[in-house]
A and B are shown apart, each in its own frame.
Chain A
Amino acid sequence: MRLVILDDYDLASEWAAKYICNRIIQFKPSQGRYFTLGLPTGSTPLGCYKKLIEYHKNGDLSFKYVKTFNMDEYVGLPRNHPESYHSYMWNNFFKHIDIDPNNAHILDGNAPDLQAECDAFEKKIEEAGGIDLFVGGIGPDGHIAFNEPGSSLASRTRLKTLAMDTILANAKYFDGDLSKVPTMALTVGVGTVMDAREVMILITGAHKAFALYKAIEEGVNHMWTVSAFQQHPRTIFVCDEDATLELRVKTVKYFKD
C-alpha cells in the first residue's frame, strides 16, 4: 500500500482531489472511453469534493466522460430526503459539475426488489468496464462502505443491516435521534471494491485512528473490513496527522519519508 500522510484535513482533501484529477486527465477520457470512478459519502470526502468542484470551475477538469458509481444508499429513505445519499451527491457534487446524469449511478434504496437492484448495479459496473479508481472512507468500526464487521471479504453488492456503531455515528445527521436513522442500506461488497483497478481510502480525524491501525497494522480480518485492501495490488491510504495517532511511530516514519 501507499500511506500518504498530510498535516491536516484540508491538505489531505487537496492531495486526494489532485490525485483523482490527475488520474482522470492522464486517462484522457473521451466519447465511448469513460473513466469510471467509485465514490463515497459522509463528512470525510466533503473537502475533496469541494476541491474537485474548484478544479472543474477553473476549467481544469471535466466530468463529461466520467462515470461514477456510489458505494451505498440507505434503504427506505425517500430519495429527496435531505440525508439520502442521492441528496448528498447532488448538493455536494453533481450539481456543481458537468457530469451526464446517465453516467451517475447510485443504488436505489426504494427499489421494489432490493437484491435485483444490487445485481443490476454489479452488472452496470461490469458493463462500464470495471472501476478505474474507487474512492472510499472508513467507518469508526473499520468498515468500508456499509460492509459492517463480520461481512464476507468476498462479498458483492447487497442489502446490509447497519451496525450500532454506524447508526450512532450517523445519528448526528438525523437530529441526534437514533429512531430516525435508517437501519438498513444497500452497499457494494468488499469484493466489489477489491475488483477496482485502484483504490484510494480517505481517513481523517482522531476518531478514525484506531480503525486505521486495525486496518493496516493488524491482520486481514472480516471484523475490520478495510483490512481486505492489504491484499489489493494498488491501494493508497490518504490521512491527516490525527488519523495516524494509533499507528506505530515506525510505520509513520517509513511512509512519511
Chain B
Amino acid sequence: MPSNKSVSDAPIFQFTNCRILRSHQLQREDLWVREGKILNPEKLFFDEKGSADIQLDCKDSIIAPGFIDVQINGGFGVDFSLAADDVQSGISLVSQKILSHGVTSFCPTLVTSPPSVYHKVLPQISVRNGGPHGAGILGAHLEGPFISKEKKGAHSEHYLSTFESGAFQDLLATYRHLDCVRIVTLAPEMKRSSEVIQELTRRGICVSLGHSVANLSQAEEAVRHGATFITHLFNAMLPFHHRDPGIVGLLTSDQIPARRRVFYGMISDGIHTNPAALRIAHRAHPKGLVLVTDAIAGMGLAPGRHTLGQQVIEVDGLNTYIAGEHSIRSLVTFSPHLGPCVF
C-alpha cells in the first residue's frame, strides 16, 4: 500500500519479525523508518493513513542502536598512541572496520605517552559524524599519564607523570591541544587533582577515575569536583573492601551530589572481569554501566606482536601480555562478549 503522498514521497520501511530495544527492554515490535527517521506507526496509521511500502523480514534478529566505544586504543594494526604523520588514515581505517561490529561512534584512546606523542597526534584528531564511511569520532580519550604507578597496568612506567607543581598548567603542557579531547582518565589521589578535575570539567571534558589506588573518600571528592566516569571498573584500582570500597564504592555512594550519576566502563570479555563481578556491579547500579572494549592494535588480526604506545604487546589466543611480562590487556571486540551481557 502506498504511503501518503501529501505528507512525504519517501518510501516507508517496515522491519518485521524482529525485536527492538525500547523502554529498557527487548520488545517484539516492528520498526518503521522513513528517510532515516524512526516513525511512530500508530501516528502514521491514524494521522497520515500511511502504511509500509517495503517490508523487511529480520528473521528474529534484534535491532539495536549502534554501540559507542569510549575506550579503544586501536585495532587492525593501527595504534592510536603512535606519533604517526598521518593519524587520520589510521583512525579512518579503524572507524570503517568497527562499523561491521555494530560500533557507530567511538573515542580513539591514547595510553600513557611522552608529551611529544600528544603534541603530534592530538592536533590531527578531529570530531566528525559517522556514516556509511565509518563510525563517528566523538573525540579523544586520554588515559594517562596522570595515573598511579602501582596501578599502571600495561602503561609505560617511564612516562607516568604528575601535576603536583602546576596543576592544570602541567596537564596543558603535557597534552597541549585539548580541542578534540573528550575524556581524560586520571588518578584522583594525586596532589592537586581537584583543581585539575574542576578545570577539565569546566571545559566540558569528562573526567574519568582509573589506574588509581584512591580510597572511597578520595573518589567521592573527585566526583564532587566534577568526575563522572570510572575507567574499566575493577581493573587497575583497589579491589572492593567492605571497610573501604575504594572507587568501586562510587556505585552506591551517598556522598556524591544527588543528581549526579556516575558511569562506569566495564570490559566484559570474561577475562578482565569475572561475570559474577560484572553482575554485582550491574545489580548495584544498573543505570551506570557502559561496556567498553579497551581494544588494542591487534584486534581483528592474527596472534602476534603489536605496539601499545610505548609498550610491545604479545597476543596469544584470547590472552595478551606485555612482551615478557604477565599483565592482562584486552583484545576481543564487542560481538563475542556481548552475548553474556544481555541480561
Whether the pair A101, B42 counts as a contact (CB closer than 8 A) is no
Query: In the complex, what's the smallest C-beta–C-beta distance from A37 to chain B, in angstroms?
Result: 17
Contact stretch, chosen from B44-52, B276-284, B290-298, B329-337: B44-52
Whether the pair A79, B30 counts as a contact (CB closer than 8 A) is no
A139-180 contacts to B, CB under 8 A, are none
Q: Which of A80, A95, A102, A106 contacts B43 (CB 8 A)?
A: A80
Whether the pair A80, B45 counts as a contact (CB closer than 8 A) is no
Query: In the complex, what's the smallest C-beta–C-beta distance from B252 to chain A, in angstroms?
Result: 31
A90 and B51 in contact, given A95-B30, A100-B1 (Cβ under 8 angstroms): no
Chain A CB within 8 A of B41 CB: yes
Whether the pair B41, A101 counts as a contact (CB closer than 8 A) is no
A104–B46 Cα gap in the complex (Å)? 9
A95–B43 Cα gap in the complex (Å)? 11
A103 nearest in chain B by CB position:
B49
Chain B CB within 8 A of A86 CB: yes
Q: Which of B42, B44, B51 contacts A100 (CB 8 A)?
A: B51
Query: In the complex, what's the smallest C-beta–C-beta distance from B114 to chain A, in angstroms?
Result: 58
Interface size on A, residues (CB 8 A): 13
Whether the pair B49, A101 counts as a contact (CB closer than 8 A) is yes
A75-119 contacts to B, CB under 8 A, are 79-80, 86-87, 90-91, 94-95, 100-102, 104, 106
A90 and B46 in contact, given A95-B30, A100-B51, A101-B51 (Cβ under 8 angstroms): yes
B28-49 contacts to A, CB under 8 A, are 30, 40-46, 48-49
Query: In the complex, what's the smallest C-beta–C-beta distance from B230 to chain A, in angstroms?
Result: 38
Q: Which of B44, B46, B50 contacts A79 (CB 8 A)?
A: B46
**What is B's interface to A at a CB cutoff of 8 Å?**
1, 30, 40-46, 48-51
Inter-chain pairs besides A86-B42, A90-B46, A95-B45, 16 sampled, C-beta below 8 Å: A79-B46, A80-B40, A80-B43, A87-B42, A90-B41, A90-B42, A91-B42, A94-B45, A95-B30, A100-B1, A100-B51, A101-B46, A101-B48, A101-B49, A101-B50, A101-B51
Pairs A–B under 8 Å by Cβ, sample size 17: A79-B46, A80-B42, A87-B42, A90-B42, A90-B45, A90-B46, A91-B42, A95-B30, A95-B41, A100-B1, A100-B49, A101-B44, A101-B49, A101-B50, A102-B49, A104-B45, A106-B46
